[in-house]
Amino acid sequence: MLGILAVILSLVVVGGVLGLVGIALGVAQLRQPHAPRGLARWGTGLSVLGVVASLVLGFGYYQLGQQLRKNMQSGGGGAALSSWEGVAAPELTVTTLEGRKLSLAELRGKRVVLDFWATWCPPCVKEIPHFIDLYKETSRAELEIVGISSEAGTVLKPFVERKGINYPIASAEKLAAPFSDVRSIPTTFFIDRKGIIQSVAIGYHDLVALRAKALGKDFEGAPKPAPAPPGSQPAPPTNAVQAR
């Protein structure tokens, strides 16, 4: 959605620039003593209207983009993701910025933290030092932390170097549910040593809270079944009478 807005805003900017050029040409033509003034006035007036329309549309789309970002940084979608707590995590394989493949299947037996974030998200950036400290405090036999962003590697690599991030970062999209259901960032999945989603945290959390969730007890009991996809019909009871 933000990408679509960026394209629209770029078109608005181009329209505004063309409008300014039209105004300049119209004024220049009006200053010529023998030039047809009627056409020049019409062209100048239309150019002014184009600039005004570009400003209004640009401001409107800018406000919409800001609201979308705020929504992504809020706690939206928490109820849907919390229904996955106690469910066995689906298979997930990502490639880190260094080219290393990481899969949940290979990490079974370790606690795993999956942090969904973005470089432009202030709460995400605020959490990064806590993940760095948590990564230093623990061994890789005990805990693995993976940061996952939909941004390109060319954007992520310089950011990772600048912030001194010491845990794996991956650029990934089109993931399986519930990872594809992330609507707000930061969103963090805490997966226990049995591969079960122990808890899901949405929004900023301090080091104490992150440590407690990451190193908490394994989920007790049998894993729950995965929630039905949104909009799907529940399965009929086994003793239901089939209609003719």
Q: Taking 50 as the threshold, does the pLDDT of residue 217 lie above it? A: yes
pLDDT band at 243 (very low <50, low <70, confident <90, very high): very low
User: Average pLDDT over the chain, rounded to whole?
Assistant: 79
- CB burial string 5-24: b at 16+ within 10 A, e below: eeebbeebeebbeebeebbe
Q: Taking 90 as the threshold, does the pLDDT of residue 205 lie above it? A: yes
In whole angstroms, what is the distance from residue 218 CA to residue 53 CA? 58
In whole angstroms, what is the distance from residue 193 CA to residue 226 CA? 18
Q: For the segment 230-241, what is each residue's pLDDT rounded down to a tens digit?
A: 655 544 444 433
pLDDT at 65: 42
The crossing angle, in degrees rounded to 10, of helices 122-137 and 207-214 is: 60
**What CA–CA distances, in Å, run from 19 to 24, 49, 118, 230?**
9, 8, 36, 46
In whole angstroms, what is the distance from residue 1 CA to residue 14 CA? 20
pLDDT at 152: 97
Q: For the segment 44-63, what is each residue's pLDDT rounded down to a tens digit?
A: 666 666 656 656 555 444 44
What global pTM score does this model have?
A: 0.66
Q: For the segment 157-181, what is each residue's pLDDT rounded down to a tens digit?
A: 999 999 999 999 999 988 999 999 9
Which residues lie across from 111 on neighbouring strands? 143
Share of the chain above pLDDT 90, in %: 57
Residue in this structure with the two tokens 């005990």, named with its chain if needed: 142
Q: Which of 207, 213, 183 lies closest to 85, judged by CA?
A: 213
**What backbone torsions phi and psi does residue 165 show, to the nearest 5 degrees?**
-70, 125
